[in-house]
Chains A and B, each alone.
Chain A
Amino acid sequence: MRRRAVIQMIGIGFLAGIVTGGVAFFIPWLPDQASEEAKAIDAAYWFVVIICAVIFALVAGVSLYSCWKFRAPPDDEDDGSPIHGHTGLEIYWTAVPTILVTAMAVFSGFALAAAEDLPDKHGTIQVTAQQFAWSFTYPELDRTEGELVLELDKPMQLVLTAKDVIHSFWVPEFRMKQDAVPGVETTVPITPIKLGTYDVICTELCGLGHSVMRARARVLSAEDYAKWAAGDSGDSAETTTGEGGDTSTEGR
C-alpha cells in the first residue's frame, strides 16, 4: 500500500516534471545571444531555471497527488489525521531551500561579476537619453549619431546619462540594461559577438513617447566599422553623419 502510494506520487511528479521541463526547455525563451555579457547572464538564467523547474515540479506533484488521493468522499464527515507537525521535515524544508537559494545567489554573483568584467583596453561611447530619442557620442571619432554602432568583439563601455527624466537602455540580444538618470553617470559594458542590427529599447516609463523611444544598434565587422568610422554611413541611408544629427553634444 505504502509502496504503491510512493510509486503513484513519483509518477505524478514525473508527469509534472515533464510538463514543466517542456515549458522551460522547448519554448525558445531567450532572444539571440549577441554579446559576451549575454553568455554570463544566460548561464545564470539556466542555473536558476533548472532549480526552479525542479522545485515547481515537486510542489505541483505533491499538490496534485494530495488533491487526488485525499479528497473526501461525498457526505463524509470524518476528520483527517491529527498531524501537528514534524520537526525533522520542517528542518529539511528550511535547510534545503536555504542551500538552494544560497547557491543561486552565489552563482548569480559570479555571473554578475563576469558580465560586468570589462578589459582595461576598451572603447567608450557616451549615450544621452532624452524624451524621446537616444544619441550616441563617439569620443574617439568626435561625432554624435542617432544609432549605436559597435565593432565585433570589441569591448565597449557605454556611459549613460539623461537630459530630462529617467530612461533605460536595453538591447534584448545583448541582455544588458541600465537606467540613464539625470545628473548621474551610469555605465554598462557591451562586447558584441554577433553581426547584425538590433533594437535599442527604452524600458523606463519616460512619458507619452516612451513606447516609440527606440534606436538602432548595429554590430559591424572590423573593416565595415573602419569604413563607417572614416565617415561612410554604411548601409544605412537615413543615418546622419557629422554635424547633421549633432544636437545633443552640448553639456557633455
Chain B
Amino acid sequence: MAVAAPQTRHAEHEGPPVRPTGRRRWTAGGWLRVAWIVPLAFLLVPVLVLALRHWLSYPSSPFSVLNPLDDSGWNDDFWRFAKQDLQPLITTWTVVVPFAFLAGIGGFDYWAYWISGRPTRPEDHSGHGARTWRDYFRVNTDHKVIGIQYVVTTIIFFIAGGLLAMFLRAELAKPGMQIVDPQGYNGLFSVHAALMIFLFIIPAFAGLGNYVIPLMIGAPDMAFPRLNALSFWLLPIAGLMMLSSYLVGPFAAGWTNYVPLAVQQPEGNLFFQMGVQWAGASSILTALNFLVTIITMRAPGMTFWRMPLLVWANFATSTLVVIATPFIAGSQFFILFDRVLHTNFFDAGEGGYPLGYQHIFWFYSHPAVYIMMLPGFGIVSEVISVFARKPIFGYRLMALSLMAILILGFSVWAHHMFVSGMAAWLRVPMMVTTMIIAVPTGIKVFSWLATLWEGRIRFKTPMLFALGFVSMFVIGGLSGVYLGSIPIDIHTSDTYFVVAHIHYVLFGGSLFTIYAGFYYWFPKMTGRMYNEALGKLHFWLTFIGFNATFFPMHWIGVRGMPRRVADYDPQFANWNLIISIASFFLGASTLVFLYNMLVSWRSGEPAPGNPWRALTLEWQVSSPPPVFNFDEIPQVVGSPYEYGVRGARHAVLNGAPTTQGREAAPMEESVP
C-alpha cells in the first residue's frame, strides 16, 4: 500500500526570500561567505600541518631547513622539503577545503542552527524554488532546482571529459608520441574515465531522477530536501578535485587505479582517491533520499505495481548505490593509507595482497555498471511506451528483471579478474553468473521490441535515442557475453575489444538513454520545446560518429592492440587514424546538442504541460511545474501505461482524471 504524503498547503508559506543586508551578508550562507572561508581554510591547512610536523620533529619538515641567516639557498631547500610534504598537505586540503566550502555556501546552516540551539525556520521555504537565475547558484531545497543544478553541472563535466577524449584521439591518430608524453597520456584517459563515470553518467541519472521521481509518484518534494541540496553541492567539489589534479600532474593509473601502481604514482593520484570519496558521498546520500522518497512518499493509490518503470529502476539503482559504493570508498581509503600513512594493505613485500584491492574495487565497480545502466532502462521504458503509444510489454517482468539484475549484479565482479591470478576455481562460477545476468537483460530488450509491435511509432528525438540505445546496447551486451566467456576473455581482456565493449555499454547504452531523457523532459524542465530538427540531426550525427569510432576498436583489439597504450604497433596506424577522425566528428556532433539546448532554453517555443500526451504524473502539471508540484496530492487509480485502453486512468488530479490516449489535449497551463 502506498503511504499518503502529508498534505500541507505549502504555497501559503511561500514568500520572497529575505536576503541579509550590510555586514550580515558576509556571514550569511552564500558565495560571499565562501569567498573568505575557503581561502582561510586553504591557508590554515599548511600552517597546521607543517607546524604539527615540525613540532613532532619530522625530518622532512621544511622549517627544519629554514635558516634565516643563510639567505642564499634556503629558498630551494624549503621548497624541496615542502614538496615532500605535499602528500599530507594535499590529503588535508582535500578533506578540509570542501567542508569549508559547504559550510560557506550554507549547506550545513539548518543543522548548525539546530545543534547550537538557535531558532530554525522549518516552515520558511525561502530557499525553495527558483525565482531568478541566481537561485540556481544557491543552496536550494526544491528537487526541481536541484535536478537542473545536477543536469547542468554534469553536462559541464561531460564537456570536460569529452575534450580530454579528443586529446587522447589526437595523440593516437599517429604512431609515436606527438602531443603529450606517456605519463600525460595515461593522465588523459584516467581523468576522462573518472569524469565520465563519477561526474557525468552516475550524477546525470541522479539529476534526472531528482527532477522526475517526486513528480512521477505524486509527491511535493523529496523526503529530505536539505540532504538533497547537500548531495548536489558535493558534486562540483568532486569534479573540481579530479580536474585540479592537473595542478600537480594528473592521476595516471586508470580509473581502476590498480595497486601497486597507484601507490607508486606521484601526488596527483590523491586527487582521484579523495574525489571518489566526495562523489561517492554525493551518490550515497541521493540514493538514500530516493529510497526513502519512493518507499514513503508515494501518492495514495500508487502501489509498487503502479509505479512507472523509471521509479522502479531508480529504486533498484539506489539499493545498488547504498550497498556497493562504500566498497570503492574503502578501496581508495586503503590506497590513501598505503600512500600517506605507510600502511601495507597492498604491498606484497610487506605481507600485503595486491589482488585484494581488485576484489574490493570490482565488488563496487561491477554493480556500478548497473548503477549506470538501470536508470537508463527506466528512461527507455518511459520513452518507448509513450512514443509507440502502447502499454509497456510485460510490465511486471520488466520490474522483476530489474530486481534480478540488482541481485545477480553482486555475484559477477570477478569476471573482471579472469586473468588476474586470483583463485582459479572462482572463474567458472563467475562466468556462469555473468552469463545468467544476460537473461534478465535480454528480457528487457525483447520486451521493448514487443512494445514497438503494433504500436504507432513517432520518431521524435527521445524515441530515436531510445531506439538507438536498444540496438547499440544489444551489441554491447553481446560483446559482454564474449568477455564473460573465460577462454575468449583470456585473449581479449585488456585489449581495445574491451574499450569497444565499454563504450557500446556506456556511450551507446548509458549516454544514449541520458540524451533520450534530456530531450524527453526538456519541455518539462525548462517550459520550452527544443528544436526537433536539430535534435534529429544530433541523433544521426552521434549515431554514425559513435559507430565509426567504436566499432573498429573491436577488430583492432582482437587483432592484438592492448588498451591504455600511448603508442602502438604501426600495423594499427590506419585504423587508429580512421577512429580518430570519426571521434572528432562525434565530438563535433555534441555541439549541435549544446546549441539546441542553450538556444531552446532561451527562446524555444513555450511548452504545453503535456507535449507528448503521456500518462505519467509529471506530465499532468504545468511546464515547469509549480513550486510544490501539485496543488493537491493526486489519487492514483491505475497503471501508468494504459495507452490505447479506453476509459483507463492512471490518476485523478484536482478531481479530474488524467489525460490519456485519444482524448488527450495538451494542457495549456501558463508558465509562472
Distance (whole angstroms) from the CB of B173 to the closest CB of chain A: 15
Say if the beta carbon of A22 comes within 8 Å of chain B.
no
| Structural contact, B493 and A72, CB atoms closer than 8 A | no
Say if the beta carbon of A67 comes within 8 Å of chain B.
yes
Say if the beta carbon of B167 comes within 8 Å of chain A.
no
A170 nearest CB neighbor, chain B only = B562
Q: Report how far A29 CA is from B492 CA in the complex, Å.
A: 12
Distance (whole angstroms) from the CB of B540 to the closest CB of chain A: 14
Q: Which residues of B contact A (CB under 8 A)?
A: 181-183, 186, 252-254, 258-261, 264, 348-349, 352-355, 388-391, 393-397, 419-421, 427-428, 431-432, 435-436, 438-439, 442-443, 445-447, 449-450, 452-459, 467, 470-471, 474-475, 478, 481-482, 485-488, 490-491, 493-495, 555, 558-560, 562-569, 642-645, 661-662
Say if the beta carbon of A142 comes within 8 Å of chain B.
no
Distance (whole angstroms) from the CB of B175 to the closest CB of chain A: 10
Q: Report how far A83 CA is from B436 CA in the complex, Å.
A: 28
Residues from chain B with Cβ under 8 Å of A97 in the complex: 438-439, 442-443
Residues from chain A with Cβ under 8 Å of B467 in the complex: 63, 67
Q: Report how far A166 CA is from B323 CA in the complex, Å.
A: 29
Distance (whole angstroms) from the CB of A243 to the closest CB of chain B: 27
Say if the beta carbon of A178 comes within 8 Å of chain B.
yes
Q: Report how far A48 CA is from B478 CA in the complex, Å.
A: 9
Distance (whole angstroms) from the CB of B624 to the closest CB of chain A: 26
A55 nearest CB neighbor, chain B only = B478
| Structural contact, A164 and B452, CB atoms closer than 8 A | no
Q: Report how far A98 CA is from B495 CA in the complex, Å.
A: 28
Say if the beta carbon of A19 comes within 8 Å of chain B.
no
| Structural contact, B391 and A104, CB atoms closer than 8 A | no
B175 nearest CB neighbor, chain A only = A211
| Structural contact, B393 and A83, CB atoms closer than 8 A | yes
Candidates A56, A59, A81, A172; contact of B559 at CB < 8 Å: A172
Q: Mark A175-219, 1 if CB is under 8 A from B, else 0.
A: 111111111101000000000000101111111111110000000
- Given the known A-B contacts A94-B439, A98-B439, A164-B264, are A184 and B354 also in contact in the complex, defined by CB atoms under 8 Å? yes
Q: Report how far A88 CA is from B479 CA in the complex, Å.
A: 28
A38 nearest CB neighbor, chain B only = B491
Q: Which residues of A contact B (CB under 8 A)?
A: 27, 29-31, 40-41, 44-45, 48-49, 52, 55-56, 59-60, 62-63, 66-67, 70-72, 76-86, 89-90, 93-94, 97-98, 101-102, 104-105, 108-109, 111-112, 115, 160, 164-166, 168, 170, 172, 175-184, 186, 199, 201-212
Residues from chain A with Cβ under 8 Å of B443 in the complex: 90, 93-94, 97
Distance (whole angstroms) from the CB of A92 to the closest CB of chain B: 9
Distance (whole angstroms) from the CB of B387 to the closest CB of chain A: 9
Distance (whole angstroms) from the CB of A55 to the closest CB of chain B: 7
| Structural contact, A208 and B182, CB atoms closer than 8 A | yes
| Structural contact, A70 and B428, CB atoms closer than 8 A | no
A80-B389, A97-B443, A177-B490 known; 15 other A-B pairs, CB under 8 Å? A41-B488, A52-B481, A55-B474, A63-B470, A66-B452, A70-B454, A80-B456, A84-B395, A102-B432, A108-B488, A112-B486, A168-B494, A172-B491, A181-B355, A211-B182
| Structural contact, A203 and B389, CB atoms closer than 8 A | no
Distance (whole angstroms) from the CB of A39 to the closest CB of chain B: 11
| Structural contact, B450 and A89, CB atoms closer than 8 A | yes
Q: Report how far A67 CA is from B206 CA in the complex, Å.
A: 31
Q: Report how far A177 CA is from B497 CA in the complex, Å.
A: 14
Q: Report how far A70 CA is from B183 CA in the complex, Å.
A: 52
Can you give 22 contacting A-B residue pairs, CB < 8 Å?
A29-B559, A45-B487, A52-B481, A56-B474, A66-B457, A72-B458, A78-B662, A79-B389, A79-B456, A82-B642, A83-B450, A90-B447, A93-B443, A109-B431, A166-B420, A179-B419, A179-B420, A201-B560, A203-B495, A203-B562, A203-B563, A212-B567
Candidates B458, B481, B564; contact of A101 at CB < 8 Å: B481
Q: Report how far A29 CA is from B431 CA in the complex, Å.
A: 23
| Structural contact, B490 and A41, CB atoms closer than 8 A | yes
| Structural contact, A90 and B555, CB atoms closer than 8 A | no
| Structural contact, A52 and B478, CB atoms closer than 8 A | yes
| Structural contact, B643 and A183, CB atoms closer than 8 A | no
Q: Report how far A177 CA is from B492 CA in the complex, Å.
A: 9
| Structural contact, B565 and A211, CB atoms closer than 8 A | yes
Q: Report how far A82 CA is from B450 CA in the complex, Å.
A: 12
The 8 closest A-B pairs by CB, nearest first: A183-B348, A79-B644, A172-B560, A211-B565, A80-B455, A186-B421, A101-B435, A80-B390
Distance (whole angstroms) from the CB of A1 to the closest CB of chain B: 13
| Structural contact, B393 and A85, CB atoms closer than 8 A | yes
| Structural contact, B453 and A66, CB atoms closer than 8 A | yes
| Structural contact, A209 and B182, CB atoms closer than 8 A | yes
Q: Report how far A186 CA is from B491 CA in the complex, Å.
A: 16
| Structural contact, B454 and A81, CB atoms closer than 8 A | yes
Residues from chain A with Cβ under 8 Å of B453 in the complex: 66, 70, 83
Q: Report how far A70 CA is from B645 CA in the complex, Å.
A: 18
Residues from chain A with Cβ under 8 Å of B450 in the complex: 83, 86, 89
| Structural contact, A182 and B354, CB atoms closer than 8 A | yes
A105 nearest CB neighbor, chain B only = B435
A180 nearest CB neighbor, chain B only = B421
Q: Report how far A93 CA is from B440 CA in the complex, Å.
A: 10
| Structural contact, B644 and A81, CB atoms closer than 8 A | yes
Candidates B349, B493, B563, B644; contact of A183 at CB < 8 Å: B349
Q: Report how far A172 CA is from B644 CA in the complex, Å.
A: 55
Candidates B396, B447, B449; contact of A66 at CB < 8 Å: B449
| Structural contact, A105 and B485, CB atoms closer than 8 A | yes
| Structural contact, B388 and A40, CB atoms closer than 8 A | no
Q: Report how far A52 CA is from B574 CA in the complex, Å.
A: 28
Q: Report how far A166 CA is from B421 CA in the complex, Å.
A: 10
| Structural contact, A205 and B388, CB atoms closer than 8 A | no
